[in-house]
Structure 1
């Protein structure tokens, strides 16, 4: 059986993390979590995810700052990062790109939409187990 792609979900909202976990475990992705930006770097270095879903607005350290910290880690150079937010403004998209984000995902209550976005953003060869 193929090893499942790993997705790191970084969000201060435990409910949103649970929603993403539930959506991604159905197609059998491996999901790891971090509740804030500071722990996200530690978890990413330990788990080496294929994709990081990074909340924009978190207390303490924003997603933009966290994205910059993740991009500064050479061990994570190939990891894709998607900023996940309720914001939808071209200025925000530009800021996210300048911070090193590969994509910008608007929070969507449809779990199928989340799975679609994750599949689209995974690097070639990364996929759900099974």
Structure 2
């Protein structure tokens, strides 16, 4: 696979650094955003292949950001994953209805994160899960 660009949107600089450290060795280009509105601005400017959106961010939740991203025709082909520390069926359903392609749980395993992003980018990835 050619190098893919992944936008990670999280208000926690430490988590953004963790994602960068997990994905760059796997040949992904990682770009960052810090808020929901920032997600749309950066995505429209950079056109990433995938977006990892934190669920809980001040000002605008990842769910609202996901809906706003999906409303952008120019970003129709971008794969979006909600990423959170909680694993709950209700949250998975909300993510799916907001337009997320996947739901990832923050588990602290960088190799697992790289595999999950690879699956997110592959054709035929299940809608959520």
Normalised to the residue count of structure 2, the TM-score between the two structures is: 0.92
Alignment of 1:1-130 (within 5 A): 3-124=2-123
Runs of 4+ in 1 over 3 A off after TM superposition: none
> Superposition RMSD on alpha carbons, in Å?
1.1
For each residue in 1:71-107, what CA deviation from the matched residue of structure 2 results, as whole angstroms up to 9, or x when unmatched?
0000000101000001111011000000000000000
- What TM-score, normalized by structure 1, do the two folds share? 0.92
Q: Deviations over 1:15-38 (max 9, x none)?
A: 000000011011121000001111
Higher relative CO (Cα under 8 Å, sequence separation at least 6) belongs to: 1
Counterparts of 2:74 and 2:112 in 1: how far apart (Å)?
A: 30
Structure 1: runs of 5 or more not aligned: 125-130
